[in-house]
Amino acid sequence: MALALSVNLNKVCLLRNSRGGTNPSPRVAGATCLDHGAYGLTLHWRADNRHTRQSDVRELRALCADRGKEFNLEGDDREELIALAEELAVTQFTLVPVTPGEITSDHGWDLPRQHAIVAPIVARLKARRIRTAVFVDPNPDMMAHVAAAGVDRVEIYTEPYAAAWGTPKLVGELDRVKRTAEAAVAHGMKVNCGHDLDLRNTPLLARSVPELAEASIGHALLADALYLGLAEAVARYARACRGEAVDAPVTR
């Protein structure tokens, strides 16, 4: 089964917010993504509203429902976010730890230490038949503890793998992702991945870790869209998720 591409549209929202208007439209961008190979859409709604807003979550959830596509809502453990996920019956909710002031997510949940935070939210959402995932560091030894929280999936944090691209550390980081994915599956969970994936490093990951079900890709895809156009960028990333070698734009 090919790795499914879920496009994270946070940066479209960020660009719109920079001028205070309605352009670019996350809804129009989302429709373009779905038209050109995306399996679904992702938004990470942060408390500071610096990119995604609650209205974006509502609009893109409706778009995905109309198209019969998956909608993945990401975020921390705050009540307004969990309640919105329940209200909208999102396809998947990915629970992500947030450190105040961080530019972007930079670590996963620490289980079993944070079990008391994660497990009740997972149980609450699963009771509403919402698929649950938790953001985790590539650590195979932790997967038994993650499974004990009752989650359906893990999303493996792939920044260490991406940062190792072109260095001697790549083999070890790829192996760490692979062993984590294998351990997750062995404990009854499915496996997603995300963070710093691009046209260069995604094909190798897709070919090497067949356990991966879904990749959430945002920043690199939308940056490449500046050079390629959004439709072409999405099409290339969909191919990359199938393990195909794809030309990346020259960016420097």
DSSP string, 14-35: HHHHTTTSS-S-HHHHHHHHHH
Q: Does some domain include residue 246? A: no
The residue-averaged pLDDT of 2-9 equals: 96
Which one of the listed residues 70, 74, 159, 214 is annotated catalytic?
74
Which one of the listed residues 44, 51, 145, 159 is annotated catalytic?
44
Q: Does some domain include residue 61? A: yes
Domains in the chain, number: 1
Q: Does some domain include residue 251? A: no
Q: Does some domain include residue 143? A: yes
Q: Does some domain include residue 158? A: yes
**Among 12, 63, 15, CA closest to 35:** 63
Which one of the listed residues 36, 145, 195, 214 is annotated catalytic?
195
φ/ψ of 97, rounded to 5, equals -70, 145
The residue-averaged pLDDT of 55-83 equals: 98
102 part of the active site? no
> Tell me, what CATH number does 168's domain have?
3.20.20.70
Q: Does some domain include residue 116? A: yes
Domain coverage including residue 95? 4-241
Residue 1 has pLDDT above 70, yes or no: no
Q: Does some domain include residue 115? A: yes
- Quote the tokens at residue 219: 């920043």
Q: What confidence tens digit (pLDDT) does each residue in 37-56 have?
A: 999 999 999 999 999 999 99
Strands 131-136 and 212-217: what pairing? unpaired
Average pLDDT, the chain: 96
Residue 171 has pLDDT above 80, yes or no: yes
